[in-house]
Amino acid sequence: MTAAGLVARVEHAVKKPIWGCQMCGQCVLHDTGLTCPMTCPKTLRNGPCGGVRANGHCEVKPEMRCVWLNAYERSERLPLWRGHIDNLRPPVDNRLMGTSSWANFVTGRDRQAPEGWATDVESRA
C-alpha cells in the first residue's frame, strides 16, 4: 500500500464511525458544525434544501433527521468556527473522492477551486 493509501485508510477508520465520513477528500466538517454534508442524500455543501419536513426530517429519507438541521444546531453550539456555516463553499472536486483530506489539507490540494470560481467568487466572498 502506498503512503497516501495508508493515510486514507487511517482517516476513514477514524472519521467513518464518528461522522459517517464519505471520503470526499475535501473535508469541511469544521464549517458544518462537525456534521458531514456528504451524508445529505443530495450532497449539498451550502445548507439545507427546501424539502425539509415539518418534523425536521429529510425529504428523501423520512426516517432520517435532516443533516443540515443537525449541522446548523451543532454549529451554533460550537465554541469555534461558529459563523463558518455561512461560508460559500465551492463545488466538490470529484477527482478527490476516496483520497485523504488530511493529506490534501497538508498539500493545499483541498482548497484549489476551479480557476473561474477562484477569481470571481472567492474574491467576492
Partner 1 sequence: MSNLEHKLDAGEFVVTAELPVIDGGGIVEIQRQLEPMRPFVDAFNATDNPSAHAHCSPLAVSIGLMQVGAEPVMQLVCRDRNRLALESDLVGAAMYGIENVCCLTGDDVTAGDEPETRRVFDLDSVQLIALARVLENGHYLSGRPLSPAPHYCVGAVENPAAPPYEYRVRRAAKKALAGARFLQLQLTFRTEQLERFMRAAHDTGLSERIALIPSICILRSVGGMRFVAGNVPGLDVPPEMVARVEGAVDAEAECFDIAFELATHALAQPGVAGLHFISFRKDAGIAALCTRLGIAPRHERESHGHSASVAL
- Binding residues for partner 1 (CB under 8 A): 41-54, 56, 59-60, 66, 68-69, 72-73, 85-86, 88-92, 94, 114-117, 119-121, 124-125
- 11/37 with CB nearer partner 1: 37
Q: Is the distance from CB of 64 to CB of 36 less than 8 angstroms?
A: no
- 11/110 with CB nearer partner 1: 110
Angle, CA 85 vertex, CA 13 and CA 64 arms, to 5°: 60
Q: Is the distance from CB of 64 to CB of 58 less than 8 angstroms?
A: yes
CB of 96 to partner 1, least distance (A): 14
- 14/118 with CB nearer partner 1: 118
CB of 80 to partner 1, least distance (A): 18
CB of 94 to partner 1, least distance (A): 8
CB of 1 to partner 1, least distance (A): 30
- 107/123 with CB nearer partner 1: 123
Alpha-carbon distance of 41 to 61, in angstroms, equals 8
Kindly report each contact of residues 42-51 with a partner whose C-beta sits within 8 Å and lies 24 or more positions away, as own/partner: 43/92, 44/68, 45/89, 45/91, 45/92, 46/88, 46/89, 47/85, 48/72
What single DSSP character describes residue 107? H
